[in-house]
């Protein structure tokens, strides 16, 4: 299982929220499909070099949101996903874009340069889909 999450000390979000974001992304794009067993709390904590408490909090929040199902003694699994309505999907996209803009600002990337980079990524991904 590929666990290449990048956690940042400069991100304004707490570590557990960063972990939640990465897991949500994996589920949303289908890397972690419904029913898949995900790393245990301890495994993920070791891989990311963070506290077990941090991962436990992320898993608890994700279970509360209905993204994970935690079965004591068996592990954590990706829950059956409810389809988000169009407005929820757009809100989630907007939130992710806000985070990208905030990161670009912290790195000193000008808005026009960010737009160019986004366009390049869109084009490269469109070419791979076709």
For the segment 21-25, the average pLDDT, to the nearest whole number, is: 91
Distance CA 79, CA 96 (A): 22
Region 26-35 average pLDDT:
89
pLDDT surpassing 90 at residue 81 = no
The confidence band for 126, taking pLDDT boundaries of 50, 70 and 90, is: confident
Q: What is the mean pLDDT of residues 103-116?
A: 93
- Residue 34's CB: how many other CB atoms inside 10 A? 12
- 3-class state of residue 67 by DSSP: coil
């Amino acid at each position: 299982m590929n666990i290449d999450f990048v956690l940042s000390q400069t991100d304004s979000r707490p570590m557990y929220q960063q972990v939640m974001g990465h897991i949500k992304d994996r589920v949303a794009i289908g890397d972690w499909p419904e029913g898949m067993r995900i790393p245990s709390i301890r495994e993920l904590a070791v891989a990311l070099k963070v506290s077990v408490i941090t991962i436990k909090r992320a898993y608890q929040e994700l279970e509360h949101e209905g993204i994970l199902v935690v079965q004591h003694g068996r592990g954590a699994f990706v829950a059956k996903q409810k389809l988000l309505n169009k407005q929820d999907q757009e809100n989630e996209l907007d939130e992710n874009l806000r985070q990208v803009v905030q990161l670009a600002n912290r790195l000193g990337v000008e808005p026009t340069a960010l737009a160019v980079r986004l366009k390049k990524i869109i084009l490269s991904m469109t070419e791979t889909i076709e």
